[in-house]
Structure 1
Amino acid sequence: MPSRTAASDCLIVIFGASGDLTKRKLIPALYDLYHAKLLTNNFAVMGISRTSYSDDQFRDYLKKHAKQFSKHFDEQTWKEFAPRLHYHAGDSTKSEAFPEIKSRMCELAAEHDTGDNSLFYLSVAPRLYDSIIENIGRHDMVTEGRAWCSINREQQSWQRIIVEKPFGRDLKSAAHLNRVLGRVFEDDSVFRIDHYLGKETVQNLMVFRFANAIFEPIWNRTYIDHVQITAAETVGVEGRGGYYDGPDGGAMRDMIQSHLLNVMALVAMEPPVTMRADHIRQENTKVLTAVREIRPEVVSKAAVRGQYVAGSHGGKPAIGFLEEEGVDAGSRTETYAALQVFVDNWRWQGVPFYLRSGKRLPAKTTEIVVYFKPTPHSLFRGVSGMNDLTPNQIVINVQPDEGIRLRFEGKVPGIGMKIKSVVMDFDYAEQFQADPPEAYATLLLDAMRGDQTLYKQREEIEQAWRIVQPVLDAWEANRDETIPTYPAGSWGPPAADIMLARDSRHWRIP
């Protein structure tokens, strides 16, 4: 879990500050942290983009979005927060723009007394990452490394960088980006963000497993039949058809590689030696390293893709993916993907993990479902209700209704023996009467603290790409094949159901 180290004074530099992520997530998250008094008095934000804004115009632009997306907006706190927001117009991909950027950073650091601590945030298109990182290094904006020969290392300034997904579009490009980062930043200063890992229920997974003796002894191949991880969205591409249909889009890259494999690693990891970030991330990496290679001849059984076509959603007609703005008429980009993986280690040998994600599905939900094996002997054979019993389940709802549900069998009150499934329900918000912070607030605060627990290692990134790369290669090699479709408002293509039905299993419908 994240440490209790206080956030440091720092200047936060956002490249791509006029974009959607800044207004919808980053500034509302920083404002909420300020409102909660979790930031120091000495911090400021410098937004950089090519759009021409003055500081006041930038603040006005962000205010309306902070009102919409912040959890605790009020006018007085915004008046205190807004003077810390600044803007610099420039093309950060051009080396000649950086002397002015560097000079402006120095001015703001002096104005807000932030010292030399800088947190760079890449909120730009992935194709721009290389040039911005190289420019930061070329203009000596990183002093990392000098601390190692300092007399008092604790007093040294720091420079860190947060890199948004997608982290590469395949294994080769991900490894290249890691090398580019490594030439400028030490690895403990690189924060590869995955907002799913900032969600409260995902973080609660480790507490659930390792703080409760009733669960850990049965968390293995002896008792667990299989695990399902679902990330379902009701929306389509939301005006981002051009991006989603591009080289970085598709459900396999956008969700399974970027998010769900990392959630799976938390479900399957061994107990870390301590709760230090490096120990936790080592165990996550071990899980991904142990995932069995998906050979080309098994791709058709281990992976399913689909694309939504016109249908009905919420009682209203919904257009198909090919009719979305910005999508090529002959697009073969998958809006649904499902993947079966095996973790070849002592704990999980032979237990399949099923991961799926799709757009235009009937419900918005992210959940982890652990299915247990049936009892070794059916003692109640012939008893009413025993012919169609649902296996015991632990359902971990990540969003929107955060909580954990345990499903097991019980006797229905009354004369005679009748058995029925019952549910014990732990609702996160109701139990703790808490209002969990948004994932980006948690992750930004951790970066200012220097805590990498909820961020990905370079090897985690590359191992996740290793897992999905054979599937992506096979799909690319078979571009002449017809991509399966599913109506908007359904639970995906029939091939996804067939994947589980081969082993007498079925997807849980949330």
Structure 2
Amino acid sequence: MQDEKVALFIIFGGSGDLARRKLYPSLFRLYQKGYLQKHFAVIGTARRPWSNDYYQQIVFDSLASLNPDAEQAKEFASHFYYQSHDVTNTEHYVVLRELAQKLDTQYQLAGNRIFYMAMSPRFFGTIAGHLKSEDVLDDRGFNRLVIEKPFGHDFASAQVLNEDIRASFAENQIYRIDHYLGKEMVQNISAIRFGNNIIESLWNNRYIDNIQITLSEALGVEERGGYYENSGALRDMVQNHISQIATLLAMEPPVSFDAADIRSEKIKVLRSLHIGTPEEARQDFVRGQYGAATVAGEALDNYRDAAQVAPESKTETFVAGKMTFENYRWAGVPFYIRTGKRLAKKATRVDVVFKQLPMNIFQSVNKQDNLAENVLTIYIEPTEGFTLQLNAKRVGQGFATRPAALTFRHSSEAATNTPEAYERLLLDILNGDSTNFTHWDELAQTWRFADVIEKVWASEPAPDFPNYLSGSMGPACADELLARDGRHWVYDPTQTDCE
């Protein structure tokens, strides 16, 4: 049995999609594993006039995909309570405080409170202010505020939002969730780098030619057209998920694997992230929007045909570009990034391309023999594992070479038992471990980086959208971006069987 965690969760947006799909199942998995037992309770808030019984049934139903034991699921759901709540109404926070105090006594929660913002960011500051002014915070235990993205839509708005929240919560009480930081193989980046001398000793510009980060999605925007119109791929994926992965790849080894030491190195390397000029943004970043195509017999329509999307929308569903870090370790090494909707295959991966040998001695015996690149690939999802591609001799006469892969994959059993990202992050919050969360200093720097690109795109006509077909790997300009540097994308499922 695990050490029991004691806390009251107050979820603003308790009736929403995020709560049903991610939060309730993740809390239940922690309950199954014994991290949550008798001494926890959850208050869900939303505008809807639900009863406790109805809310508990919603929670119970949200667990269906886990095939739970019915009695265990029912007992778990009995810890959930509902309050109809208008986040702008001060009186509602008085009622919330009274319910929180009652549950604290009933479940012996020692004043430990976790406030989860699972709703529109425009209310974050309002909620945080009322939690403090109406004494919903409890000084007897811990008070932790959990925030989902988007945290602002540019640096200026993010700064205002941060100041509003910091008026009520200290930085060490704020947990800005980036669920990619909870993924098993994203966390494995640190183990691969800092747990293997053979890797860390080569992890610099003397041996690495370039690093490629790909976050490709096979689905379109589906029902999120309204959100995407106000976001786009740059804000939705690059400013947060991709930047965080790049930071883990580029940071220096921390003094220890302590949250404060890791955060210090992440902030330090982000300060070396080159904030481009408008002209550099034009050269180093490209955008795209998916168009109609027939893939595997299925007709897929344009982004512009999605619900809540403008007929002449200029919103990008694809971004590719080049990040650089101006420090001793990474000077001259480009980090190529790309992400998009309706691409050929769902895949999140990192390809570390090592420099070629200064001389290919095998060409003296085989004029046609070109050595393949040495590539370390970290598979994040849906495959989890890594591959190191080396060169080896072909079987037979002569000395022709061929690429050979040293591959590790998590077994199906291990993958099944791997904690889901939200489960892992919720446990971190309960433990007060901020290692896998985003500090304001990190967020500020990534917004400064993204703002330059966004302002250039906003001030100039968009390309002739749509400019890539559904089922492809994006527009031709993404390939040209690397070709200008004499490089190519390692991952292209439209040309190979690469995973």
- State the TM-score, normalized to the length of structure 2: 0.95
Matched ranges for 1:395-414 at <5 A:
395-414=377-396
Residues paired across the two proteins, number: 491
- Paired with 2:466 and 2:456, the residues of 1 have a C-alpha distance of 15
- Cα 1:52/1:375, change in 2 over 3 Å: same
| Other-structure match for 1:119 | 114
Amino acid at match of 2:62: H
- Cα 1:428/1:363, change in 2 over 3 Å: same
Alignment of 1:462 onto 2:444: yes
| Other-structure match for 2:47 | 50
Between 432-441 and 274-283, report the one with greater CA deviation: 432-441
Matched ranges for 1:12-411 at <5 A:
12-68=9-65, 70=66, 73-143=68-138, 156-246=140-230, 249-381=231-363, 387-411=369-393
Is the Cα contact below 8 Å between 1:385 and 1:418 reproduced in 2? no
- Paired with 2:96 and 2:237, the residues of 1 have a C-alpha distance of 34
- CA shift at 1:62, angstroms? 2.5
Is the Cα contact below 8 Å between 2:363 and 2:370 reproduced in 1? no
- Paired with 1:137 and 1:318, the residues of 2 have a C-alpha distance of 49
- Paired with 1:479 and 1:95, the residues of 2 have a C-alpha distance of 45
- Paired with 2:132 and 2:461, the residues of 1 have a C-alpha distance of 41
Matched ranges for 1:415-494 at <5 A:
415-429=397-411, 435-479=417-461, 482-483=464-465, 485-494=467-476
Is the Cα contact below 8 Å between 2:59 and 2:77 reproduced in 1? no
What is the SS of the residue equivalent to 1:244?
A: helix
- Paired with 1:415 and 1:299, the residues of 2 have a C-alpha distance of 51
- Paired with 1:414 and 1:431, the residues of 2 have a C-alpha distance of 39
- CA shift at 1:130, angstroms? 1.7
Is the Cα contact below 8 Å between 1:305 and 1:484 reproduced in 2? no
Between 72-81 and 93-102, report the one with greater CA deviation: 72-81
Amino acid at match of 1:395: T
- CA shift at 1:30, angstroms? 0.3
**CA offset digits 1:378-426 (Å, max 9, x no partner):** 1111555964543100000111111011111111222221211111111
- Paired with 2:82 and 2:449, the residues of 1 have a C-alpha distance of 41
Is the Cα contact below 8 Å between 1:294 and 1:467 reproduced in 2? yes
- CA shift at 1:255, angstroms? 0.5
Between 22-31 and 284-293, report the one with greater CA deviation: 284-293
Between 38-47 and 497-506, report the one with greater CA deviation: 38-47
What is the SS of the residue equivalent to 2:63?
A: helix
- Paired with 1:220 and 1:355, the residues of 2 have a C-alpha distance of 18
What is the SS of the residue equivalent to 2:388?
A: strand
What is the SS of the residue equivalent to 1:218?
A: coil
- CA shift at 1:109, angstroms? 1.6
**CA offset digits 1:18-53 (Å, max 9, x no partner):** 111000000000001111112242001110000121
Amino acid at match of 2:155: L
Amino acid at match of 1:177: L
Is the Cα contact below 8 Å between 1:48 and 1:92 reproduced in 2? no
- Cα 1:488/1:383, change in 2 over 3 Å: farther
**CA offset digits 1:110-161 (Å, max 9, x no partner):** 22221211000000011121211111122122356xxxxxxxxxxx411101
| Other-structure match for 1:148 | none
What is the SS of the residue equivalent to 1:349?
A: coil
Is the Cα contact below 8 Å between 1:292 and 1:343 reproduced in 2? yes
- CA shift at 1:203, angstroms? 0.7
- Cα 1:224/1:75, change in 2 over 3 Å: same
- CA shift at 1:228, angstroms? 0.4
Is the Cα contact below 8 Å between 1:142 and 1:184 reproduced in 2? no
Q: CA RMSD in A?
A: 1.7
What is the SS of the residue equivalent to 2:361?
A: coil
Is the Cα contact below 8 Å between 2:143 and 2:173 reproduced in 1? yes
Between 40-49 and 384-393, report the one with greater CA deviation: 384-393
- Paired with 1:166 and 1:214, the residues of 2 have a C-alpha distance of 38
Is the Cα contact below 8 Å between 1:312 and 1:487 reproduced in 2? no
Is the Cα contact below 8 Å between 2:291 and 2:468 reproduced in 1? yes
| Other-structure match for 1:153 | none
Q: Structure 2: which 5+ runs fail to align?
A: 493-497
**CA offset digits 1:284-342 (Å, max 9, x no partner):** 11111101121011112111111111112343110110000110112111100112011
- Paired with 1:38 and 1:88, the residues of 2 have a C-alpha distance of 25
Is the Cα contact below 8 Å between 1:484 and 1:493 reproduced in 2? no
- CA shift at 1:496, angstroms? 0.6
What is the SS of the residue equivalent to 2:72?
A: helix
- Paired with 2:11 and 2:109, the residues of 1 have a C-alpha distance of 16
What is the SS of the residue equivalent to 1:132?
A: helix
- CA shift at 1:459, angstroms? 0.3
State the identity as a percent. 38
Alignment of 1:11 onto 2:14: no
- Paired with 2:463 and 2:424, the residues of 1 have a C-alpha distance of 43
